[in-house]
Amino acid sequence: MRTVTLTLKAEPPVPAEAEQLIPDVVAGKTAEEVRRLPLLVGNRRETVGDWFDVVVDEAEAAAPDLLLRGDLARFKRLGEGMSRGAMVVEGRVGFHAGARMSGGSLTIAGDAGDFLGAHMAGGRLVVHGDAGHYVAAAYRGEKTGMKGGTIVVTGSVGQMVGARMRRGLVYVQGDAGDVAGYNMKGGTVVVGGAPAARVGARMVRGTVAVLGGEPLELLPTFSYACTYAPTFWRVVHHELARVGHAPRVGPGVTFRRYCGDVNEGGRGEVLAAQPG
């Protein structure tokens, strides 16, 4: 197995478009070929070698296909469109990390910017830190966001996590900003802490599960339905435990179920974990 290691030489003065930096593109290339890959830094066309030291070597089976080191907060679209392999970033990343992923795994050891995993269709994305707004969401003008895969954020996230998502699983271990699950059409968003205002606004379908319990600031278009222990939570709990991020509440926890948004048909649900 070969690992491509990119070590940042210096932080660029302006944001850089780095969608070329995915396992799909670097696989099988020599160090010199990787250095020649294009990067758009501001409005200037430059190369990977202008900004990174590049090493290609044989590695252990558990090593990633692509390893990036450094503070990459000004590098946007890292991991965008990847469909296979393993990619690890040891540092912060910019906007759109993991957007449109369809397979493979992307691990970020630092904070992430806005639109993390936007339009993701498959694979696994893990952030060991906080993430910005619009995690797993749809871009402006698009009707459907995340369509599959798993996103785990060990910290907190900003506004509109899961906005317009259709399928998939998002687990935020910390808190979430306003309007978590906005206009969801399916899938599951789990918030380990507390979400802010207007959870599930304009939900069509899908589930927002809040492990931090109540009170929740719900719109009047949501109504209490029942208190129960849903079977599906056992499945979600098992899947998160399988990828090494078991929730702090057990698989048999009881939830209060609220149905809504009635303005959109009332088929979505917000679940609030109960103590005990």
pLDDT at 88 over 90: yes
Contact between 132 and 113 under an 8 Å Cβ cutoff? The reply is yes
Q: Report pLDDT for 165.
A: 98
Cβ count near 49 (within 10 Å): 17
Token match 């990343």: residue? Answer: 93
End-to-end alpha-carbon separation of the chain, Å? 48
Q: What's the whole-number mean pLDDT along residues 64-85?
A: 98
Q: What's the whole-number mean pLDDT along residues 107-135?
A: 98
Distance in angstroms (rounded) separating the CA atoms of residues 238 and 157: 23
Q: How confident is the model at residue 61 (pLDDT cuts 50, 70, 90)?
A: confident
Q: Report pLDDT for 274.
A: 94
pLDDT at 125 over 80: yes
Backbone angles phi, psi at 178, to 5 degrees: -60, 150
Q: How confident is the model at residue 137 (pLDDT cuts 50, 70, 90)?
A: very high
Q: What's the whole-number mean pLDDT along residues 231-241?
A: 96
Contact between 131 and 116 under an 8 Å Cβ cutoff? The reply is yes
Distance in angstroms (rounded) separating the CA atoms of residues 76 and 86: 18
pLDDT at 60 over 90: no
Q: How confident is the model at residue 215 (pLDDT cuts 50, 70, 90)?
A: confident
pLDDT tens profile 163-185: 999 999 999 999 999 999 999 99
Q: Report pLDDT for 49.
A: 98
Mean pLDDT of the chain: 96
pLDDT tens profile 193-211: 999 999 999 999 999 999 9
pTM: 0.97
pLDDT at 75 over 80: yes
Q: How confident is the model at residue 63 (pLDDT cuts 50, 70, 90)?
A: confident
pLDDT at 249 over 90: yes
Contact between 168 and 189 under an 8 Å Cβ cutoff? The reply is no
